[in-house]
Homo-oligomer: A and B are copies of this chain.
Amino acid sequence: MTKFRSPCPIASALDIVGDKWSLVIIRSMVVGATSYSDFLAAPERIATNILAERLQRLEAAGLIAQRRPRKGSIRGSYALTTKGAGLIPVLQELARWGQENIPGRWTPPLRFQDARPADHAIGGAAGEGLRPAEPG
């Protein structure tokens, strides 16, 4: 289990995903990465040992899940859980801040900007497409 520095929700959230790589991995998942090699292909060049360890930790923390492959086939693919997808608004705010305050940053793809937690969590509304914000 993670040990928390304090009962502060911010400090505690950072105790779970506040290392150098966790949020970068989750970002990759939001834009479509599902396999080990997908994560390695990201431009930040994470080391293989760290990726493997981080995937384990994120799974243990319940932020991602490995979809077990259909009987007797290849390895599973990774997907965000509801808990993990709940971090999408954090990533979107970080992206906004980065774009506004650091010159030369990429503009994230629309599927990132428009991402909603409910559309990314396993068991979520996959395949429903984007709707306008619900009134009320």
Contacts and interface: CB of A to CB of B under 8 A. Distances in A.
Contacts of A94: 9-10, 13-14, 90
Copies of this chain, whole number: 2
- Chain B CB count within 10 A is highest, among A87, A89, A98, for A98
A9 B87 contact: no
Nearest to A92: B93
A14 B7 contact: no
A43 interface: yes
Contact of A18 (B23, B93, B95, B108): B23
A93 to B, nearest CB: 4
A87 B83 contact: no
22 contacts: A5-B44, A5-B45, A6-B42, A6-B44, A7-B106, A8-B43, A9-B94, A9-B95, A9-B102, A9-B107, A9-B108, A10-B94, A10-B98, A10-B108, A11-B24, A11-B44, A12-B102, A13-B98, A14-B20, A19-B20, A89-B97, A93-B93
